[in-house]
């Protein structure tokens, strides 16, 4: 009998290293949706609360397929040639700690920790996502852009782990258990850096967890050395359950999977540094 990550209290931290959380929904392209509708959607929001917009390239569709050929093809390199002029609109709030991202086939809601302030917890970010999703669905209905058909949910947690916190040298990278540190051969090779990914299937093929490790430096004047650890959970919707409630259930599953995985991946000393505690998130 498998255990469900959503059952029981979730691991929690007093001072987690998370700096950004993204909740998102992917949907079939709306036939009536044009780039001009992005600006029209922005105008439905409170201009005082959401004053800043910028353009970004559209995100490519992501589908978590589980056929043997699909799982290997997922990690191959693809080049796409298209004349599709679609765009993605990024809308930031006045405080600079929330962002809405909208395009034809994607709606994302970000909490941005770089603006300062503590992580507001998953439930608060989820409430913000639900509010924006309801606003978007009302807009799609009023404009008669087509039937809204969600096909996938997505949750991402970005963690910044600077040098001088749970690690000081490359040999300390074993704080992340799947990694184990950069190998060094005495007198011949000294480990310098590593960037890589791990991919895990959520039981019963309900989705995948993707873990990306990036070693680099901040772009600010201090050039602080750090690890950027990104955990992304994505999953499909069942054919007969393609509605908003199913998307929200998927987001909850993704959040629980990420939190349990983070707890399991980290060594005891790292969990103590971020002040792990019992209780629900």
Quick: pLDDT tens for 239-265: 667 788 999 999 999 999 999 999 999
Q: What pLDDT is recorded for position 2?
A: 54
Domain extents in the chain:
12-66+84-277
Average pLDDT along the chain: 88
Q: pLDDT by residue (tens digit) across 201-247?
A: 999 999 999 999 999 998 777 789 999 999 999 999 876 677 889 99
User: Mean pLDDT, to the nearest integer, of 121-140?
Assistant: 97
Cα–Cα distance, 252 to 154 (Å, whole number): 10
| Lowest mean per-residue pLDDT among 117-121, 158-162, 200-204 | 117-121
Residue 280 has pLDDT above 90, yes or no: no
Q: Are 181 and 167 in contact (CB under 8 A)?
A: no
Q: What pLDDT is recorded for position 213?
A: 96
Q: What pLDDT is recorded for position 78?
A: 47
Of the two residues 187 and 246, the one the predictor is more confident about is: 246
**pTM for the predicted model, two decimal places:** 0.89
User: Mean pLDDT, to the nearest integer, of 58-72?
Assistant: 80
Burial class of residue 55, CB neighbours in 10 A (0-12, 13-18, 19+): exposed
Cα–Cα distance, 202 to 258 (Å, whole number): 11
Query: Is residue 67 very low, low, confident or very high in pLDDT (cuts 50, 70, 90)?
Result: confident
Q: Are 232 and 156 in contact (CB under 8 A)?
A: yes
Residue 3 has pLDDT above 90, yes or no: no
Q: What pLDDT is recorded for position 82?
A: 46
The closest alpha carbon to 230, from 263, 196, 207, belongs to 196
């Amino acid at each position: 009998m498998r255990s469900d990550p959503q059952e029981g209290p979730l691991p929690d931290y007093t001072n987690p290293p998370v700096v950004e959380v993204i909740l998102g929904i992917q949907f079939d392209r709306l036939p009536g949706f044009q780039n001009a509708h992005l600006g029209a959607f922005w105008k439905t929001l409170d201009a005082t609360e959401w004053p800043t917009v910028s353009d970004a390239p559209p995100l490519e569709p992501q589908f978590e397929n589980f056929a043997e050929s699909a799982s290997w093809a997922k990690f191959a390199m693809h080049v796409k040639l298209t004349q599709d002029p679609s765009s993605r609109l990024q809308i930031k709030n006045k405080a600079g700690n929330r962002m809405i991202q909208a395009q034809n086939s994607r709606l994302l809601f970000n909490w941005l920790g770089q603006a300062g302030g503590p992580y507001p917890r998953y439930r608060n970010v989820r409430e913000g996502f639900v509010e924006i999703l309801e606003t978007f669905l009302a807009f799609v209905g009023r404009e008669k852009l087509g039937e809204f058909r969600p096909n996938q949910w997505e949750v991402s947690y970005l963690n910044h782990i600077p040098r001088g916190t749970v690690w000081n040298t490359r040999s300390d990278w074993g704080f992340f258990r799947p990694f184990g540190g950069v190998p060094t051969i005495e007198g011949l090779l000294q480990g310098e850096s590593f960037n890589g990914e791990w991919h895990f299937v959520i039981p019963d093929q309900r989705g995948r967890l993707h873990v990306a490790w990036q070693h680099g430096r901040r772009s600010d004047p201090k050039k602080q050395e750090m690890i950027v650890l990104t955990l992304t959970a994505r999953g499909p919707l069942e054919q007969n359950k393609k509605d908003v409630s199913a998307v929200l259930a998927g987001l909850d599953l993704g959040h629980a999977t990420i939190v349990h995985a983070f707890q399991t991946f980290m060594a005891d000393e790292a969990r103590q540094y971020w002040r792990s505690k019992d209780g629900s998130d």
